[in-house]
Structures are given as structure tokens and as C-alpha cells.
Amino acid sequence: MNFTKQHKLHLTTLSLLLIISIGSLVLLMNEGTKIDKIPAYAGMTNDPFTTSTNISDYKASIDVAIVNADVNAREDSERDPSVPQDDSMVNNEEEYLELYTPYSLLVNDEEYNLNLQKNKEYSVYQLMQLLTASSQKPFMFKTKEYTGIGHFVESINGVENNPKENEYWIYYINGESAKMGISQYVIKEGDQIKWKFEESKF
């Protein structure tokens, strides 16, 4: 009883704060449900429905913008990262062949091709990374890096090494099983790199 009398002011203030907090929470919840009712043109400098612009014209301009964005996105995705972005740099096929060397990599019987800049060295690992970045066709791989010996492939295109069955990804250079890791081997012009998923002989 004495406690209530002594702290009457505090309890009243606390009750008011509690009522205000609950009221604010209810208001915020109501505002949250109204978000999806905000018109699509909110935030634009010109409200399309208060200007003289015809609504069908407005919709048509949106459709054109969407189509243009889609075309641009497709063109960007079709660009090969190894090919120069400025087409004016290469005037004809002869010049192109002077600047770039074709490289290929086989995964079982699937062939992947990429043109890379001449006078640069690329390891098998770097070629595989560039193929992953290229948009020509999907190529994904996973490796594990070991100190001093580099990267060893654990999976290609979702097919993982299977130690229980002794099946692993093994790569071949010009028909012979590679004697060094993918990080160390520098590809020479004309090399044929092939990955096979097979039983390990080691």
C-alpha cells in the first residue's frame, strides 16, 4: 500500500509509456500492411495519371524499356570475357588470329573452347577458371588446394570423386596421364587437355 502511494507518479508514467508503445506498434503494423498498396508511380517526379500522357503510351514505354534491358543483358551475357570488349581493336580475322590462340578442353566427350590472348602463359587451372567465367556453356568445378602442390579437382559439373569406388577425375595431356597438378602445368599451343572420370590406377 505504501509502495503504491510512494510510486504513484512512477506507475502512472510507466502505464502511459506502455500504452503509447502498444499504440505505436499497432500503427506500424497497419502501415506495414499498406506498403503493397503504394502506386507503381510513387516517387516519380511526374505522376502519369495527372499529366497529359496517355496511359497506354506510358505502358508501352515501360514495355520498350523492359525489352531493351533484356536485350542488353543477353548481349552482355553472350560476350566471351577472353575476347576484347572494344571490337574496333580487331579489324579482321587475320588480326584476331595474331592476337588470340584457341584453347580447348574435353570433359569426357564434352568439348569446351576458348580464345585466349597470345604471349601469355595459362595453367590448366587458369583455363578452367576462365571457362567457368565464360558464358558459352556451363562449366563448374571444385578443387582442394594443398600447400606446395596446388589444386586438385574434387568435382566437375556436379560429378564428384568417389573414393569408395576408387573413381576420380584424371586429366590427360595429348593422350597421356598428366604427371603434374593443374596449377603447375602450363598449356602449350596445340595441347589437348582431356578430363576423364575413371577408376584410378594409382
Residue 150 pairs with which residues in a beta bridge? 146
Which residue ranges make up each domain of the chain?
2-78, 101-199
Q: What pLDDT sits at residue 90?
A: 55
Q: Exposed/middle/buried for 71, CB within 10 Å: 0-12, 13-18, 19+?
A: exposed
pLDDT at 32: 53
Pairing of the two strands 150-156 and 159-160:
antiparallel
Amino acid at 138: P
Where would I find the beta strands (DSSP E) of 130-192? 141-146, 150-156, 159-160, 167-173, 176-177
pLDDT at 52: 40
Nearest to 169 by CA among 160, 178, 177: 160
pLDDT at residue 200, as a whole number: 86
Please give the helix or strand (H or E) that residue 77 lies within, else none: helix 55-78
Number of residues in the chain: 202
Cα–Cα distances in angstroms (integers) from residue 146 to residues 149, 181, 183, 186, in the given order: 6, 10, 11, 18
| Cα–Cα distance measured from residue 172 to residue 195, given in angstroms and rounded to the nearest whole number | 6
For each successive 10 residues of the chain (202 residues), what is the average pLDDT? 65 76 72 45 40 42 40 45 49 74 91 89 94 87 91 95 95 94 92 94 72
What is the pTM (predicted TM-score) of this model?
Answer: 0.53
Whole-number pLDDT of residue 11: 73
CA angle 15, 21, 25 (to 5 degrees): 145
Decide yes or no: CATH 3.40.50.10860 for domain 101-199.
Answer: no
Q: What is the DSSP letter of 195?
A: E
Rg (CA), the chain: 32
Measured CA to CA, the distance from residue 136 to residue 195 in angstroms comes to 19
pLDDT of residue 69: 41
